[in-house]
Structure 1
Amino acid sequence: MIDAQDRQIIEVLQGGLPLVPAPYAQVAETLGMNEDALLVRLAKMKSRGVIRRIAAAPNHYKLGMTSNGMTVWDVDDDQVAELGAQIGALPFVTHCYERPRALPDWPFNLFAMVHGSDRAEVEEKRAEISAILGEASRAKDILYSTRILKKTGLRLKAKG
C-alpha cells in the first residue's frame, strides 16, 4: 500500500523527470519537500516493490533505430534463467524476460528485444544470441515492430 505522499510522488513522476540539471530537486520542490526526503521515499518504495525503477523510455525510431525485433526462443526450462541472464546482460538487448509457453502453437519461453538501424543489424544481433543459446534453444523466431503502441510507465488513475 502507498500513503498519500507516495501517491503524490508517483503522480508527479509518472509524466517523466524534468529535463533539468537537478531533476529530483525540482520534483521535491514541486511536492513541497526536500530532495533527500524524496530520494529516501523513492528508495523505500523500490525496496517494498511499489516501483521497480525510474528509467528512460527512449523512442528508438527517433534515435535512428528503425528496425526493432523481439527475438523469441524455445529454451530448455532448466536453463532458461541462467541463459536469460546472459542474454539480458548483452549491451544490445533492451528487454529480456521469461514467459510461459502457449502450447501447441507458441513454444517460446525466452524473449529478447533488440534494435538496429536496419534488419541486417538486428539479424546480426540475433545471431549473437543464437550462438550463446546454442543447443539449449530448440526453436527461434523474430517479430518485427511496425509502430510504437505504448511508451509510458505506470499511470495512476485520479482518485474520486
Structure 2
Amino acid sequence: MSRRLDDTDRRLVLATQDGLPLVPRPYHQLAAQLGIAPSEVMERLLRMLARGIIRRIGAVPNHYAIGYTANGMSVWDVPDELIDELGARVGELDFVTHCYHRPRRLPEWPYNLFAMVHGASRDEVLHQVDEIARLLGAASRAHDVLFSTEILKKTGLRIGG
C-alpha cells in the first residue's frame, strides 16, 4: 500500500504536527480549518495509523512544566522468557509512564527491560525504582537508573509546508 499522502492528508499532518488544538472538540476545529467533516478528520487519522504513516495519537506532557523535574529511566536485567509477563506488571504501575523491551548489548549492557519514571526529586524516583525492584523480586538480576540531564524537544511527524 502506498505511503504517499494526498493533499488533504498532507494538510491534516501540517495542521497537527505541533499538536492537536487544546479545545473540547479538536477534530471539529481541525475539520473547520481544513474544510472537511469531523468524521473525515477522524477517518483520515485512523487510516494513517493503520498504514503506519503515523504511529500514535497521544498526549506528550512536559514533565518539567507539571513539577516532575527528576526523570529516571530504570533499566533491568530480567530473564528473556519472563519479559512479557514482567513488563506487563511493571507497566501497570501508576508511576511508570512507559515500559518496553530492548535488546541487550552484551557484555557492556545486560539490561532488557526499560521503565520510565518521573518524580519531583531524585529520591522520589529512587523510591519508585525500589518499588519496581520489590515487584520483580529475584527475577531482577541487576538494574540501574539513568537520570535525564537535559530536556529534549519532543515532536511528532514533521513534513515541510
**TM (normalized to structure 2)?**
0.91
* Match among 23, 26, 38 for residue 23 of structure 1: 26
Give unmatched runs, 5+ long, in structure 2: none
* Match among 81, 100, 103 for residue 100 of structure 1: 103
**Greater Cα offset, 3-12 or 75-84:** 3-12
* Match among 64, 82, 96 for residue 79 of structure 1: 82
- Percent identity over the alignment? 56
Partner of 1:3: 5
Letter paired with 2:38: E
Establish whether residue 135 from structure 1 lines up as the match of residue 154 from structure 2: no
**TM (normalized to structure 1)?**
0.91
Give unmatched runs, 5+ long, in structure 1: none
Measured in 2, the distance between the counterparts of 1:6 and 1:110 equals: 36
Measured in 2, the distance between the counterparts of 1:66 and 1:52 equals: 27
* Match among 65, 68, 71 for residue 65 of structure 1: 68
The number of residue pairs the alignment matches comes to: 158
Deviations 1:46-93 (A, max 9, x none): 233332321111111111111110000011111112211221122111
Deviation at 1:20, TM superposition (A): 1.8
Establish whether residue 144 from structure 1 lines up as the match of residue 144 from structure 2: no
Letter paired with 1:75: V
Deviations 1:21-63 (A, max 9, x none): 2211111111111101111111222233332321111111111
Measured in 1, the distance between the counterparts of 2:46 and 2:57 equals: 11
* Match among 85, 91, 95 for residue 94 of structure 2: 91
RMSD over aligned Cα atoms: 1.5
Which aligned runs of 4 or more in structure 1 are off by greater than 3 angstroms? none
